[in-house]
Amino acid sequence: MFAVTPTMENAIALGASGNLPVVFINTADGRPIVDRVNWRTMTFTMLDPNNPQYNIQTLTNQQIRGRGNWTWYHFFSLGNPPYRIRFRNGQEQSLFGLPMARNWVLLVGYRGGGDAVGFELGRRLGLECSPTTNFVELVFNGEFKGLRQLSEHRQADPFDIGAPGRPKICQESGWLVQIDRIFNTSADRGDPGFRTTHYNLPVLIKRSDLDQQILDQQFSNNGVIPNSINISVRNDWNELTALMYSENFPENEWRDLIYMDAWVRYFMTQTIVRHRYLSNYWAFGGAIADLYVHKDRYGKISAGPLWDLDNSLVWMEDEQTPSNHTIQGVYTARREPWLPRNVDWLARFFEDPIFIARYKEIWNENIGDISTMPNFLDSIATLVSADFSDRVQFLEQRIQFLDSAYNAVTPMVTNRDFGVVTFGTYQDINAQIFNFISYQDIENLSLTLQNGVNSAFEIIASECFATSMKRDIHANTRRTSGNGRITTVSVRPRNTLQVGSHRDNLVLTGTNQGNAVSIHVPLTVLVLNPLQAWSQDGRLYVTGLAKDEMLYVFSLTGRLVHRHIATSETVGLSLPATGLYIVRANNETLKVFFAK
């Protein structure tokens, strides 16, 4: 094809709708873009029939090349690939009123509305680096190529002047990385990287405008990154993953390294749209892909930007209806199919009760804006003349399901079974510890036993040092990182219990973030007579057993003679010979003479 004069009339004649902005691109030699490495010279024009103030008159000697991974290979084969645009130094452009930048992208991921919905959802949730969405129609070398999304490139922004989708990083120590299964440092990809000591995460370092020339000079063809550039990024990641891997997690100050709200909003966006590329559980056997992380302007490790969300807004192949989707796994990454079951690092976030408490809080703070996302997708469908009815229905069902599931989860202790204790010695049982997790203080805290003075249990006195709580409450509250609070309560059975089963409820009430809190913790204890054994009528009798408890009989040399599962408190056994035997059950041991 040959270049055409960039006018709306010519665009409409070629097939444009006339209702959307049109981008005209003409390569210098009139040939198509065939790779993602070599920059080609082009002219760039943009005409917006509805907002002429956004028109960009023809710019010559600009640059273009291919971009993307799957979208590049798939759409290149169809003759309509995604592109990256780079304006010359000193000719940065403000497109659609966004801050001026050199680098922009033309995406083809409009086909299901996933990118548009994900980017808008991130913006509504307050995720800072959420890219913008602007639909345009493309005329390339005089040929109409249809609908595209024109958006800012996701390069890091060290000067805090870039478009919303560019992560704002610290000039001295900031960075942007991609966690991706495609751990390839070939010249074609051009991203240096490393694997973390813990979790073996594949970390690819993304270049910013500032370091582009430096890195181009220092990288060899095989993509090996010099230690002078690599060391700070590697150290930051090894520090974070080491704390998350630690047995002391989560109360080991790991939250001090991250911007928690950004991680919550990032995961929440991915969950709502059901983005399959994050986990690649469906396509790549649980390997992470397209997870972007940056060190922000305040030195915190932060999630984002959102990217490549086009493969979303659909149920997995094994989830034909929302009812097949497991509610109990919504918070727990190992069970929720949207997050890979075998990626322990991602699962670790959801093993921190403070993270879960904040997740639930942010959800409820934003449910109004989340609930109108189906309307937004409907408006996109109208704008681009597409039928997204199945995806609108998915989004409605997904949001309803998640709202019900999230609010059914309380990130606190819900039950305690004190097990079996032996009458006469149980008063020495160790107190059981409850850790009530909250985000911010639980005010006006009240702890009671439902049966009051008749309870079989007692709350162990301990100093209370939270100023917002009553002094006579037997609880300790301590502050943790990320505005978390852990309120610790100690409970044990009373030492005056009779033989039998005893039950009660520990009740915690108060207010948190202005909302009433009421938690009931069931308590149970089974009290038995002490273990006793005797010989009678050629049988060995043992009493003081709990139903289904294992009873062991040994010879004096330690050989196991008999093993029995108790069906009642007292059992009778037949042994092979007269002699001394050792009887063991319920952590008690006694010696008995048996006469055959």
CATH number for position 438: 2.60.40
> Beta strands 416-422 and 515-528: pairing type?
parallel
How far apart CA 417 and CA 427 sit, in angstroms, is: 16
Strand partners, 24: 45, 139
Q: Which residues contact 140 (CB under 8 A, 6 or more apart)?
A: 25, 26, 32
pLDDT score for 496: 79
User: Other CB atoms closer than 10 Å to residue 40's CB: what's the count?
Assistant: 18
Count of structural domains within the chain: 3
Domain boundary among 355, 379, 407: 407
In a domain, 151, yes or no: yes
pLDDT score for 99: 86
Give residue 120's domain range: 8-407
In a domain, 2, yes or no: no
Residues 398 and 432 in one domain: no
Residues 318 and 357 in one domain: yes
CATH of the domain at 567: 2.60.40.3080
Residues 315 and 436 in one domain: no
The two tokens of residue 559 are: 């050989």
Phi then psi dihedrals of residue 234, to 5 deg:
-60, -45
pLDDT score for 468: 36
Domain boundary among 502, 528, 554: 528
User: For residues 437 and 354, is the Cβ–Cβ distance under 8 A?
Assistant: yes
pLDDT score for 277: 62
Nearest to 24 by CA among 40, 43, 51, 38: 43
**Where are the alpha helices (H) located in 151-226, listed in sequence order?**
212-218
Using a 10 angstrom Cβ sphere, with 0-12 exposed, 13-18 middle and 19 or more buried, the burial of residue 440 is middle
pTM for the complete prediction? 0.72
User: For residues 140 and 50, is the Cβ–Cβ distance under 8 A?
Assistant: no
Residues 401 and 481 in one domain: no
In a domain, 59, yes or no: yes
Residues 429 and 441 in one domain: yes
How far apart CA 427 and CA 497 sit, in angstroms, is: 9
Residues 248 and 343 in one domain: yes
Tens-level pLDDT at each residue, the chain (596 residues): 567 899 999 999 999 999 999 999 999 999 999 998 899 999 999 999 999 999 999 999 999 999 887 778 777 767 789 999 999 878 889 999 988 888 899 988 555 688 899 999 999 999 988 888 899 999 999 999 999 999 988 777 665 666 666 777 776 778 889 887 766 543 345 677 888 999 888 888 886 544 554 444 444 434 444 555 578 899 999 999 999 999 888 878 899 899 999 999 999 998 888 877 664 443 444 567 778 999 988 889 999 898 888 777 876 544 444 433 433 334 333 344 334 444 678 888 888 878 888 888 899 999 999 999 999 999 999 988 888 898 899 899 889 888 887 877 665 554 556 666 655 555 556 677 777 777 778 888 888 899 998 998 888 864 433 333 333 346 677 777 667 777 778 888 887 788 888 889 888 888 877 778 788 888 888 887 888 999 999 999 999 888 888 999 999 888 999 999 998 889 999 998 999 999 998 778 899 999 98
User: For residues 436 and 442, is the Cβ–Cβ distance under 8 A?
Assistant: yes
Residues 269 and 282 in one domain: yes
Helix (H, G, I), strand (E, B) or coil at 21: coil
pLDDT score for 519: 81
Residues 383 and 499 in one domain: no
> Beta strands 134-140 and 22-27: pairing type?
parallel
How far apart CA 509 and CA 458 sit, in angstroms, is: 17
How far is C-alpha 174 from the chain's CA centre?
22
How far apart CA 57 and CA 125 sit, in angstroms, is: 35
Secondary structure letter of residue 168 according to DSSP? B
Residues 188 and 241 in one domain: yes
Q: Give the H/E segment covering residue 450.
A: none
Phi then psi dihedrals of residue 404, to 5 deg:
-65, -45
In a domain, 454, yes or no: yes
Nearest to 102 by CA among 159, 158, 62: 62
Secondary structure letter of residue 460 according to DSSP? P
In a domain, 3, yes or no: no
Please give the sequence-ordered ranges of beta strands (E in DSSP) within 402-499, or none if there are none.
416-422, 432-439, 443-449, 457-459, 476-480, 484-493
How far is C-alpha 516 from the chain's CA centre?
27
pLDDT score for 436: 73
Q: Which residues contact 527 (CB under 8 A, 6 or more apart)?
A: 420, 421, 422, 423, 426, 493, 497, 498, 499, 500, 501, 502
User: For residues 447 and 507, is the Cβ–Cβ distance under 8 A?
Assistant: yes
Tokens 């971009």 correspond to what residue? 67
Residues 213 and 246 in one domain: yes
How far apart CA 169 and CA 157 sit, in angstroms, is: 6
User: For residues 118 and 306, is the Cβ–Cβ distance under 8 A?
Assistant: yes
In a domain, 1, yes or no: no
In a domain, 538, yes or no: yes
pLDDT score for 464: 38
pLDDT score for 501: 85
How far apart CA 393 and CA 380 sit, in angstroms, is: 14
Residues 581 and 508 in one domain: no
Residues 155 and 212 in one domain: yes
In a domain, 429, yes or no: yes
Domain boundary among 528, 545, 568: 528
